[in-house]
Structure 1
Amino acid sequence: MLTVVLVTAVLISTGVARPSLRYLENTFTVENESEEVRSEALKRLLEVFGMEDPPHIRGLHKQPPQYMLDLYNTVADVDGVTKDPDLLEGNTVRSFFDKLHSEEIQFLFNLSNVAKTEKVLTAELHLFKLRPQASYSFNRHHFCQVSVYQLLQTSKMNTSQSRKLLSSRLLPVHSSGWEVFSITHAVRSWMADEGSNLGLLVTVRTLGGSQMDSKLVRFASGRHHHQSKQPMLVLFTDDGRRAASLENTLKDMHDTSAPPSLPVAQKPLAAQRSPRSLDYEEDDQKMPCQRLPLYVDFEEIGWSGWIVSPRGYNAYHCKGSCPFPLGQNMRPTNHATVQSIINALRLTKGIETPCCVPDKLFSINLLYFDDDENVVLKQYDDMVAGSCGCH
């Protein structure tokens, strides 16, 4: 009898200690649903940024080209918001490093990551000119003719049939620094026929047309020089995603002397973060329509590994009520004003009050590495609520 009691007690205690099968099933379902929601949400967010999958970075420790960092800081503020729509040609800028690493002044750039649908606006070859070696500092030549050719054949590169002149100009022999050459026509032909991309050839000659000593006029190469001086192709394109109203929206922003400010009287932070309840909803309805912060943290969603700048941005959101009568501070449309009047007079059943929504949207800029370790600067439309109104 005692044995039966002990066995029963052990079974009971074991049953109490273990979660029920229904509890485990519910927990598993909730966790799965939560993971599915997160996965679907990140997928949709990638679609907003024009991607199917996040770039796969393979232990990348490279620094973005200084040119791309400077360009980003020129077109975007500290939060990534576009300063002026006229500063950037198109909405996408890519930088490509030379894949050939040749001993000659010959370059090859892989453009396979550029979609065929993108419109090529401008393409530039950026070369860093080095100072002549000390033993050549007093050479009698003061200028040289630098020419950039598109290769049409890989054999007999010195013949006129095997190459096409893209750009040519005089450069001081003793100068140093970045030199930029236009190669737009070559890149457009490569985009039309990927197989025609045989690379570029650069020649340096004296004013008399003879070959210049390679030790006198030198350009940095990817093989022997620091990454910050590597030959680079910079491509400006438009992917066709730009909204027709973007230009007018952004110009409106710059026409104002100051950005829309938040109302002075705000609810305490604790009240903003309190759990939703009936009282909270009632308080929310009493709050007039206004713009409130909504920070998107790229590190928090696991994107900090491939996004260079910004680390996140304030998208803002609109919240509050649009009570009758609508004042001009509510920035109402005529339609919203009429709707508010109809609602107040109860002339038509089922007519709600106008909604508090963004009435001005700004674009942001993203600087990031793609799958091929190229650095991309891209503008995305309608990402930040600039102001709110009753509509």
Structure 2
Amino acid sequence: VHVGHHHFYFDISAVEKDEQMLKAQFRVFKLKRMHRSRRSNVPHFCKVEVYELLESENKPQKKHLIASRLLSLYAEGWEVFNVTQTVSKWVGNSSSNHGFWVTTTRVSSNGMEHDVVTFAKSPGALQESRNALLVLFTNSNKQRSHSSLPSATSNSRASMSRRPRAAAAAAARSPLTACHRRELYVDFHAIGWSGWIIHPSGYNAFYCRGSCIFPLGESLNATNHATVQSIVYTLKLSQDVSMPCCVPDELKSLNLLYFDDKQNVILKNYKDMVATRCGCH
């Protein structure tokens, strides 16, 4: 029996005790085994077990099993373990955090073999983006108040007071709804992106919907060109001219934590991902 062990410690002191722990994932990148055995009777799998250390790493015999699974010796990639319950306990009592103890076990007749599985944990530039991660999904009232966007309802109410009376009257008579922003939640799992996006699991992209009929009020954020086009459309001066389009007028960026083609963990800011305002263009 060949047994290897690895110790992983994460400082989570920055997490406040009143934050709700939704999910915690321990992620380790398993490196490919370079020397493949040619003998058919040699097992190509090993057992990986993740433990919570109950005391310091000097006493690894005192541990609690969190998860275990079989892995191919010759595969490479990220392995994800659910450690929500353990990390929640650590957040409540930081002194109980002694880290994770990972053991790899393989039964073989070759007594000289050691280092069954290698995980990326060196500070080298090549493996830096593959180092072990502890990804936390929390629900904090403080964070939510900063990140929340004003609702479409509150925007429309504020803009109604600035709209010219003629425009307000025209909007009241029109059976069509004026251009406005509506919610659009994008679930990355539903669109098939959950395999490479680590966080978030989805986001509210919003979208624009409604008509741009003359007269265009201030709340419709219309360009001069859209105003002229709406006049031509309303007067039916040209059959080829359509109504101006209700489209995003302002957009903001979104941070994504994801795996690239080489299984490196990347944090990137993607521009123009969220519609924050709609207008007639």
TM-score normalised by L of structure 1: 0.39
Q: Residue 133 of structure 2: which of 200, 216, 232 is its match?
A: 232
Aligned-residue RMSD, C-alpha: 4.2
CA contact (8 A) 1:123 1:233 kept: yes
Query: What are the equivalent positions in structure 2 for 1:30-69 lying under 5 Å apart?
Result: none
Relative to structure 1, the CA distance from residue 105 to residue 213 in structure 2 (aligned partners, 3 Å threshold; closer, same or farther) is: farther
Query: What are the equivalent positions in structure 2 for 1:11-160 lying under 5 Å apart?
Result: 105-134=6-35, 136-138=36-38, 140-159=42-61
CA contact (8 A) 1:147 1:165 kept: yes
Q: Does 1:308 align with 2:269?
A: yes
CA contact (8 A) 1:148 1:165 kept: yes
| Aligned position for 2:93 | 193
CA contact (8 A) 1:166 1:185 kept: no
Richer in helix (by share) = 1
| Aligned position for 1:270 | 224
CA contact (8 A) 1:262 1:291 kept: yes
Letter in 1 for 2:50: V
3-state DSSP of counterpart to 2:85: helix
3-state DSSP of counterpart to 2:88: helix
CA contact (8 A) 1:132 1:215 kept: no
Larger Rg: 1
3-state DSSP of counterpart to 1:189: helix
CA contact (8 A) 2:17 2:91 kept: yes
3-state DSSP of counterpart to 2:95: helix
Q: Residue 250 of structure 2: which of 295, 307, 313 is its match?
A: 295
Letter in 2 for 1:168: S
3-state DSSP of counterpart to 2:98: coil
Displacement after TM superposition at 1:191 (Å): 0.6
Richer in strand (by share) = 2
Q: Residue 177 of structure 1: which of 57, 77, 83 is its match?
A: 77
Letter in 2 for 1:152: L
Letter in 2 for 1:183: V
CA contact (8 A) 2:208 2:278 kept: no
| Aligned position for 1:261 | 209
Letter in 2 for 1:188: S
Aligned length: 183
Letter in 2 for 1:198: H
Instruction: Give a deviation string over 1:213-255, Cα, whole Å, max 9, x none.
Output: 5444211114344233211112222225499xx9xx958999x
Report the Cα distance in structure 2 between the residues aligned to 1:194 and 1:295, rounded to whole angstroms. Answer: 43
Displacement after TM superposition at 1:116 (Å): 1.9
CA contact (8 A) 1:146 1:170 kept: yes
Q: Residue 202 of structure 1: which of 91, 102, 105 is its match?
A: 102
Which stretches of structure 1, 4 residues or more, deviate above 6 A after TM superposition? 251-254
Instruction: Give a deviation string over 1:70-104, Cα, whole Å, max 9, x none.
Output: xxxxxxxxxxxxxxxxxxxxxxxxxxxxxxxxx96
Displacement after TM superposition at 1:207 (Å): 4.7
Report the Cα distance in structure 1 between the residues aligned to 2:127 and 2:16, rounded to whole angstroms. Answer: 30
Instruction: Give a deviation string over 1:261-291, Cα, whole Å, max 9, x none.
Output: 3424465623899xxxxxxxxxxxxxxxx97
Report the Cα distance in structure 2 between the residues aligned to 1:192 and 1:211, rounded to whole angstroms. Answer: 44
Instruction: Point out where structure 2 has 5 or more consecutive residues left out of the alignment.
Output: 152-181, 188-205, 217-221, 228-244, 254-266
Instruction: Point out where structure 1 has 5 or more consecutive residues left out of the alignment.
Output: 1-102, 274-289, 299-305, 320-391
Relative to structure 1, the CA distance from residue 123 to residue 147 in structure 2 (aligned partners, 3 Å threshold; closer, same or farther) is: same
Relative to structure 1, the CA distance from residue 292 to residue 226 in structure 2 (aligned partners, 3 Å threshold; closer, same or farther) is: same
Letter in 1 for 2:47: Q
Displacement after TM superposition at 1:193 (Å): 0.8
